[in-house]
Each structure stands twice: as structure tokens, then as C-alpha cells.
Amino acid sequence: MKSKNLSENILKSLKSSGFDYIDLDTVIPTNLILERSGESFRSLIFSFVDQNGKEICLRPDLTVASCIKYLNQKNKKSSKVFYSGQAFRKVQKKTDKIIRDQIGFEILGSKDEKRDDKKIINTSIKVINKFRYKTGSITVGNVEIFHLLINKLEIPKRWRLRLQRHFWRENYFNELLKRLETNSDVDETVVELDKKRYLKMFKQNQDKNIAGRSLNEILLRFDNKIKDPRRQIKGQNVVKIIRDYLKISCPMSKAAATLNTFFKKK
């Protein structure tokens, strides 16, 4: 009962701050999730095929569902919205919950990100102050700074995109860092065999389709890997920089100085 009353009070506070409540679809197109998070995310979602043969899934996160709703409305104006409900996601540990209650609020389609970011932070502070907690904190992050860091690192372009794309998936992201650090997934014998296959396929019809991709697409991708290989020594250094960055935690008043010091050292 206590948590229910708390949730209701939070929602009232968000409404009084000028945010509009929206109802979200319980099921959403599976492809919209996989395009953002990758095919490996499929193991975490509850998906099925509808009567029209379209694959749909239970929403694994309400933030994603709110963005999909906004995009489907093709609204060119910014929207201040809030929502609540349940999200459904498979878990690896039996003690973890499959169904999670979630409350969130967003300013979608922002025309002034700095102003709206400040609005989000101030609203969060207002909610906390209203309930007079003895202790509490608001964690603020900026994924654009992480993207800036990744784009400056000496790693293959495909790996930059991979790390940025899967940043939100903690377990898989850590797995990627381990692979980058150790080259554990690179078998030199297999690489040499692939090179021989590459030369053989290069002589074939480039328009031929294999597993849904043209031979030309496959060869271009492998050509990029040959010209932009992963090197273990650089990988170890890159992973250390990323992990050092992720350890940064400081009051907002010290964030600029702390980040500037970090980037100067690296």
C-alpha cells in the first residue's frame, strides 16, 4: 500500500509540473526493439506472431514504448509526457522479477535540449523535495559524452558502433569489452580460412544472395575487417580507458572539471 501511495503521489506531482499522462501499448513490434538493441536481445523479450504473421512482443521497457508512440503520431511538436505501468523482460537469475513496475517522464522531440534537460532535472528535484525524504540522490548521466569518448578511441569503426549501440545492456556490454581486451573471439586459423573463402567468393557473381545478403555486401564487410583489424595491445588500452570513464562519479557541480581532467589525461 505504501508503494502504491508513493506512485500515485509521484504521478500527481508530474501532472502538476505540466506533463501529460499517456497510455502506452502493451505489445509493440519486435523489429523496433531488435533494430535498436540487436538480435541477441531477443532472448530477453516475450515475443509471438499475431494473426497477420507479424512478430510482436510485450513491451520490455516503457521508455521505448513512449518513443514508439510519439513517432507513430508523427508529431512535429515537442511533447512533455509521463507514464506508468508494467514492463516485461526475461531474466537470467531466478530471483529477479520478470514483471517490473515503472514510472517515467520525458520531453520528446525537444527543440531546446539544454532547457529541457534542466526541466527534467528540476522536476526530479521537485518530486523528491515534495516527499521530504531524509536522504536521496538523483543520478544524472549524458550518453553523448560516452559517444564522444568512443569516437576518439583507436578501434575499428564497427566496434565503435557496437559499443555505442549496446551500452545500455550491461552484461553484453561487459562481454564486448572482454572480447576487445583479450581478442578471445579471434581464431587466427579461422581468419586464414576466411581469407581463402574471400578470394574464392570474389571470383563469383557479386549479385548472388547468401542468407539474405548479396555476395557483394558480404565481401565489403569482410574487406573492412581486413583493412581495419583489431589489435590486442590497443584493445587492452581502449578497454582500460572505457572502464576508467565508467568509474567517474561526482557531484554535478564538479562534473565539468572532472571530465576535463579525464579527457586531458587520455
Domain parsing of the chain, residue ranges = 2-138, 144-265
CA 212 – CA 210 distance, rounded (Å) = 5
Task: Give the model's pLDDT for residue 182.
Answer: 82
Q: Name the CATH superfamily, with its identifier, for domain 2-138.
A: Bira Bifunctional Protein; Domain 2 (3.30.930.10)
Segments of the chain scoring below 70 in pLDDT: 1-2, 184-196, 198-203, 205-208, 210-213, 215, 218-233
The Cα 264–Cα 219 span in angstroms is 39
d(CA 123, CA 138): 11
Position 187 scores a pLDDT of: 47
**Rounded CA separation 169/249 (Å):** 20
Model pTM above 0.75: no
Contacts of 239 (CB under 8 A, 6+ apart): 177, 180, 181
pLDDT, residue 231, reads 56
How high is the pLDDT of residue 262? 93
The distance of Cα 225 from the centroid of its chain, to the nearest Å, equals 24
Q: How many CB atoms lie within 10 A of CB 161?
A: 12
Instruction: Compute, in degrees rounded to 10, the torsion defined by CA atoms 98, 161, 187, 233.
Output: -110
Question: What would the grid cell of residue 164 be?
Answer: 555505442
Phi-psi sector, 69: left (phi>0), alpha (psi -120 to 50), beta: alpha
Are the beta carbons of 128 and 136 closer than 8 angstroms? yes
pLDDT value at residue 46? 94
Report the C-alpha gap between 50 and 54 in whole angstroms. 5
AA letter at 145: I
Helices (H), 88-206: 113-130, 143-152, 157-165, 170-182, 188-202
